[in-house]
Amino acid sequence: MDRIRISGGNRLHGIIPISGAKNAALPLMIASLLTSDTLTLENVPHLADVEGLMRILGNHGVDIAVNGRRERQEDGYSRTIHFTCRTIADTTAPYELVSKMRASFWVIGPLLAREGKARVSLPGGCAIGTRPVDLFLEGLQALGADIEIDGGYVNATAPSGGLVGAKYTFPKVSVGATHVMMMAATLAKGTTIIDNAAREPEVEDLANCLNAMGARITGAGTRTITVEGVTNLSGARHRVLPDRIETGTYAMAVAMTGGDVTLEGTSAALLENALDVLRQTGAEITATETGLRVVRNGHGIHPVDIVTEPFPGFPTDLQAQFMALMTRSSGVSHITETIFENRFMHVQELARLGARISLSGQMARVEGVQRLKGAPVMATDLRASVSLVIAGLAAEGETIVNRVYHLDRGFERLEEKLTRCGAVVERVSE
């Protein structure tokens, strides 16, 4: 099993290309099930989750053609992938596939809309909370679907005439449930109004792609999304938006270590709240023609309190990385997690590096220390794993991050990108 070895203490200087967003690429790939034509996606990152979803889509009958990175090609790790699903080969998404990645459950929306039925295993994924699928199923039921759960599978069937548009208000904001209901509604009869919808950029990106395929969606990016159903969707070409979580992660790495890095191919509009918080810690962040420039000139890191919230608030997917940054602040900060009930598993691993963190329910009190010291640590989930990398970059001596497969799910060529900016980071295979 691979590990990441880090020798801390180096400032970061250079350019880091930001990859396409995993959280946008996955629902966009699933949207290929809605049409018999070819959906071409540009800027798709090379990640374990993307590879896993391609296997799942292949099981449903999607033909996939990948234009890969040429040998010796320099910066630019993204790929263009063509997805063609002439016919749905199988409306069952089996446990052995769905259990490995939660987002694969989202195929239930397109399968139900196009074929009128779907049998999908209850999902798996990171152990950062229960994340029940109730919101997904209630949204589909509002469109007329009949839902039964039997033997760990969700059996969904549409009325004989297909799904029917309706007005539905989510009791709680859910990005995944918004994706699924929006996709299902594109082929429903009549108009669907989704209230209390997720406002994340990835939701708007999916809507833009669906509209390019012939859907009629308005309001994406706001609390209310309106979908006018159409009889069929066509193919399209769409570019995956930049990864805002990767952007914020590398910005925090610069804030942690000091230095001067340009994050290329990204936009401040994707994560204004997180960038404002970073500025409060003492980092300088400015927009450039190609992306964002992040500078910290050696002054101390100021403590800042945060509360995770749905977009446009501070992202839960940057909470662990920000906690790592606060371990070196010049005072006490408080981090409150409101999205997932079990997303502080990185605390005990940061403590192994010398961090002083105490927990009280869903709030962490972080008392900054003058130095961290390298140690072997264990990644528990995707975002927690990269928080340990950020801490290791600033720790004295050597840090070994185990369970690197978590990192590979969401960060494309992380060690390569950091090494190009002066970090001492290498992957070690046993």
β-strands 363-367, 332-336: how paired?
A: antiparallel
Ligand-binding annotation for 27, yes or no, is no
Ligand-binding annotation for 63, yes or no, is no
Ligand-binding annotation for 123, yes or no, is no
Ligand-binding annotation for 317, yes or no, is yes
From residue 414, alpha-carbon distances to 66, 83, 102, 251, 404 in Å are 22, 27, 23, 13, 11
Ligand-binding annotation for 167, yes or no, is no
Residue 126 among the catalytic residues = yes
Ligand-binding annotation for 131, yes or no, is yes
Ligand-binding annotation for 23, yes or no, is yes
Ligand-binding annotation for 94, yes or no, is no
Residue type, 318: L
Ligand-binding annotation for 408, yes or no, is no
Three-state DSSP class for 28?
Answer: helix
Nearest CA among 364, 360, 296, 299 for reference residue 327: 364
Ligand-binding annotation for 3, yes or no, is no
β-strands 236-239, 38-44: how paired?
A: parallel
Reading the block at residue 56, the tokens are: 């799942």
Reading the block at residue 224, the tokens are: 């209310």
Sort 298 into a burial class: Cβ within 10 Å, 0-12 / 13-18 / 19+.
exposed
Ligand-binding annotation for 75, yes or no, is no
Strand-pairing partners, residue 287, are 292
β-strands 153-157, 167-169: how paired?
A: unpaired
> Which residue reads 């589909």 in tokens?
140
Ranges of H-type helices in 334-413: 347-352, 382-394, 405-408
Among residues 85, 126, 209, 421, the one annotated as catalytic is: 126
Ligand-binding annotation for 174, yes or no, is yes
Ligand-binding annotation for 208, yes or no, is no
Mind telling me the catalytic residues? 126
Which residues are known binding-site members for UDP-N-acetyl-alpha-D-glucosamine? Answer: 102, 131-135, 172-175, 317, 339
Which residues are known binding-site members? Answer: 22-23, 102, 131-135, 172-175, 317, 339
Which residues are known binding-site members for phosphoenolpyruvate? Answer: 22-23
